[in-house]
Amino acid sequence: MKITKVTAIPMSAPVPLEKRHRTDLGTKVKSDATLIRVETDSGLTGIGAALGSPPIVAAIVRHELSPEVVGEDPMFSERIYEKMYNGSRSAPALARGVTQADESRRRGVIMEAISGVDIAIWDVKAQALGIPLYQALGAVRSAVRGYASGGWAPGDEAEAELGGYAAKGFTAVKMRVVGRDGFSIPKPAEPEPIGLVYHPWRACHPPGGCHEPVTDGAL
């Protein structure tokens, strides 16, 4: 099996005013992503996605990564990753078994593009093996606990917000205390870590709710 074509489709969709919400980066007004397709001569097609500026990611895939990937066997996913990551130094890196990445390949949006292509290649592998992608990657469990991500409502309004997530069936929630756009929960004069999360915690505490709050960055 050989890869015959790699394409990147830049996408951007505005978020309707009534559905806009806060994130770590401020109010979300649009969603950007690049859809990546890896096609093979066996008829299998893998789908991946990358964040970053869609037009830039698409250009990287088209001009930099696609020429390095086309013709490769997708079952050799680590070899393909090393080619993409090492760039012009891929030949000696593969020959010696030691990564020698070009500096331009080790940071920024090009890593976003590489990850999107890598996801699509693993998707092809999983289809070829006839198993779900999570099993192809090396599964530890068959299910993971999901949590609701929010917690931007100010003050006592956070109780209603997080309680709403519990009502939808979530057993854990994630809340923030600071955002890039200046949003923050006021810090008390004396440390009161329990008080800061008491109302949100009360909103989703059993019966019928979350077992504990999940703070920013934790799962």
CATH number of 3-138: 3.10.20.90, 1.10.3720.10, 3.40.50.720, 3.30.390.10? Answer: 3.30.390.10
Is residue 193 over pLDDT 90?
no
Closest CA to 119 of 203, 4, 6: 6
Do the Cβ atoms of 18 and 39 come closer than 8 Å? no
Question: What pTM value is reported for the model?
Answer: 0.74
Strand 172-175 to 212-215 pairing? parallel
194 pLDDT band (50/70/90 cuts)?
very low
Peptide bond into 207 cis (omega under 30): yes
* DSSP SS3 for 9: strand
Write down the domain spans for the chain: 3-138, 148-215
The helix/strand count (H/E) of the chain reads as 8, 8
Do the Cβ atoms of 67 and 79 come closer than 8 Å? no
102 pLDDT band (50/70/90 cuts)?
low
66 pLDDT band (50/70/90 cuts)?
very high
pLDDT at 187: 56
